[in-house]
Structure 1
Amino acid sequence: MNIAVIGMGAVGMFVAHHLARIGLDVTGYVRREEQRIELEKNGIQLDGERIHIPVYSYTDLSAQHDYHIIATKKTANETLYPYFKKLNASSYLVFIQNGITNAQELRNLQAKVFIGVFDHGITRYGNDKIQQKGAGRLSLGSLGDEQEASVNKFVTQIDDPKFPVFFEKNIQSRQAEKMVINCVINPLTALFECFNGEILKNPYLKQLAKKLNEEACQALNIPTEEMWQRTLAICEKTARNKSSMLADIQSGKRTEIDYLNGYLVNHFPGNVPTHETITLLVKAKEIIHKD
């Protein structure tokens, strides 16, 4: 089985490292030439263990892979979709991204599509080093019943005790639940430039977080209190972690705010006022840090 992992951020490097470790044929693809050179030279280092895989630029994406795992931020999809549209019906695209994936977004793709929800806590250091801060799981599913057998087969092929992978029949519910957590933790830590645990310590941040959780759960029809307790648990478990949105702000990159809180604003207008304000604040901060 030949697998492409597109995007060598924390998630992409973690997935590529584990798939290569269990003996699969893995190729990495990156946006930046600087990272490509370092990964080719040094390999991917996870908790001190290095594994080398071939690494190429996005511009060299090949259709010869059996599976394409997309581990980029959603902001990269605008660049990558023209390539995805060229893949035929025998190809598989596995999206492991934040936010919610819907059928409308995938309407022009011939390739079969799997959806993944990644729950491990991973931190990236530089271009080639990652550290696992919290153990989780990768859940995979599809948007339609017709792909369930194919998803199950893929899960069986890549599941490993050190990298547990599960089939999830209702993957969209899992995506929605993770989205609520991201819509609470990511923007608040980005705006106030703090670790995740600060949401638990600061009573005003915690109040904001609870309001964001309440609005998101009502919009997505998710039990509010149950989700709030899960979000608090994640804040505690990842107390010393820096969110991906904070990392983007600090490095002057575009954030995923449009695909998280902004998604709720666009799909549930008038029902998520706190998310609307938070979205505007993050976008304003993007401009300040970019300048």
Structure 2
Amino acid sequence: MQFTIVGAGSIGCLWAASLAKVHSVHLWTRDTQLHREFTFTPLDRKTITVAPTQLKLPSNQALRLQQSDCVLITVKAFQVAQAIEAIQPWLAPSTPIVIMHNGMGSQAVALQKLPHNPILYATTSQAAFKPQPDHVQHTGIGQTWLGAINPAAQHLHNLADEFNNVLAPCQWHQDIQQPLWQKLAINCAINPLTALHQCKNGELTQQKYQTALMNICQEVAEIMCAEGYLTTAETLKEQADQVIQATANNFSSMNQDVCHHRQTEIDYITGHIVRCGQHYNIRTPFNAQLWQQIKTMEQKAS
């Protein structure tokens, strides 16, 4: 298959390197370079040295975008609209679009801007890191879920198989909103606190953070129940604790965005909870406070 990946961040490059083992891969980025080179270090799964590979992929070539069998958009949530606008002139209406980012809230924009294309959303717990701008390191294995958000994409189960072949585990989900909400709950628990306190994920196991984590999970659980995804604060807290322990040495993406004075995805993570609370008339004071604190940090950095 021919894939175009929009966005050359750590996750975009992870999927590019993985798909390139089997398929033809083309990158679409914000610059005009016709090729993109980077070093990819696979995850060391068997405690043996894994040699980095050097990749040189075509990029920003309109003909390759036109000929793509699938477009995977891996930009941040607030960049989705701009990314779609950038590629739209060369997109065939039958080309499947897969959108993968942290948080929720971009679906309406995607459906409005691409009314004819099959649109799928993906959520992944695969982890990658860029120690240098042209070096991508696979740092953690996790589940990827893929599913349709419009009728035109309902038949595309084979894409989950293709993703699973190159970067397992990946499975199709009949209701992709369910794993999206699960991932959002974990992001709500971990990302704002690690950004606010500029700490690694593992530091959230300390006693001083437990009340905050439970307050976040309580509000998120109420919103999820209103959305039809029944859960409890205790269940979400347990899931968040598992991820905190599994990724103890990692810095969250929001932590890194704040550290490097970049715009965060807070509006699509905690902000999404706050907006849903307003919609359902459910109070979310703790998440609202976190949202405001991160927005203040963003404004000071800009």
In the superposition, the TM-score normalised over structure 2's length comes to 0.85
2:5–2:27 CA contact under 8 A, matched in 1: yes
Match of 1:127 in 2: 133
1:91 counterpart letter in structure 2: T
Match of 1:165 in 2: 170
Is structure 2 residue 234 aligned with structure 1 residue 212? no
- Report deviation, 1:142: 0.7
> SS of the residue aligned with 2:287?
helix
Q: For residues 72 and 165 of structure 2, what CA distance do their matches in structure 1 show?
A: 17
Is structure 2 residue 219 aligned with structure 1 residue 235? no
| 1:65 corresponds to which of 68, 81, 84 | 68
2:30 counterpart letter in structure 1: R
Match of 2:46 in 1: none
CA offset digits 1:107-127 (Å, max 9, x no partner): 231211011011113222122
> SS of the residue aligned with 2:154?
helix
| 2:274 corresponds to which of 265, 276, 280 | 265
| 1:277 corresponds to which of 279, 283, 289 | 289
- Report deviation, 1:60: 9.6
1:69–1:94 CA contact under 8 A, matched in 2: yes
1:117 counterpart letter in structure 2: T
- Report deviation, 1:85: 4.5
- Report deviation, 1:84: 5.1
Where does the alignment leave 5 or more consecutive residues of structure 1 unmatched? none
Match of 2:231 in 1: 223
1:46–1:129 CA contact under 8 A, matched in 2: no
Question: In 2 relative to 1, CA 283–198 (structure 1 residues): closer, same or farther, beyond 3 Å?
Answer: same
Q: For residues 3 and 270 of structure 2, what CA distance do their matches in structure 1 show?
A: 32
2:101 counterpart letter in structure 1: Q
Q: For residues 61 and 183 of structure 1, what CA distance do their matches in structure 2 show?
A: 37
- Report deviation, 1:165: 1.7
2:23 counterpart letter in structure 1: L
Q: Structure 1 stretches (4+) deviating beyond 4 angstroms?
A: 57-61
Percent of aligned pairs with the same amino acid: 23
1:117–1:140 CA contact under 8 A, matched in 2: yes
Where does the alignment leave 5 or more consecutive residues of structure 2 unmatched? 44-50
| 1:194 corresponds to which of 199, 210, 218 | 199
1:130 counterpart letter in structure 2: V
- Supply the RMSD in Å over aligned alpha carbons: 2.4
Is structure 2 residue 58 aligned with structure 1 residue 52? no
Match of 2:101 in 1: 97
In the superposition, the TM-score normalised over structure 1's length comes to 0.88
1:134–1:237 CA contact under 8 A, matched in 2: no
Q: For residues 244 and 61 of structure 1, what CA distance do their matches in structure 2 show?
A: 30
1:66 counterpart letter in structure 2: D
CA offset digits 1:26-50 (Å, max 9, x no partner): 01223357xx69x834443435431
Question: In 2 relative to 1, CA 245–161 (structure 1 residues): closer, same or farther, beyond 3 Å?
Answer: same
Q: Which residues in structure 2 correspond to 1:244-259 (within 5 Å)?
A: 244-259=253-268
Is structure 2 residue 190 aligned with structure 1 residue 178? no
Is structure 2 residue 138 aligned with structure 1 residue 139? no
Question: Alignment length, in residue pairs?
Answer: 284
1:30–1:58 CA contact under 8 A, matched in 2: no
Is structure 2 residue 86 aligned with structure 1 residue 78? no
CA offset digits 1:217-260 (Å, max 9, x no partner): 11111412222111000000001100000111111110000111
- Report deviation, 1:65: 1.4
Match of 1:19 in 2: 19
Q: For residues 226 and 209 of structure 1, what CA distance do their matches in structure 2 show?
A: 12
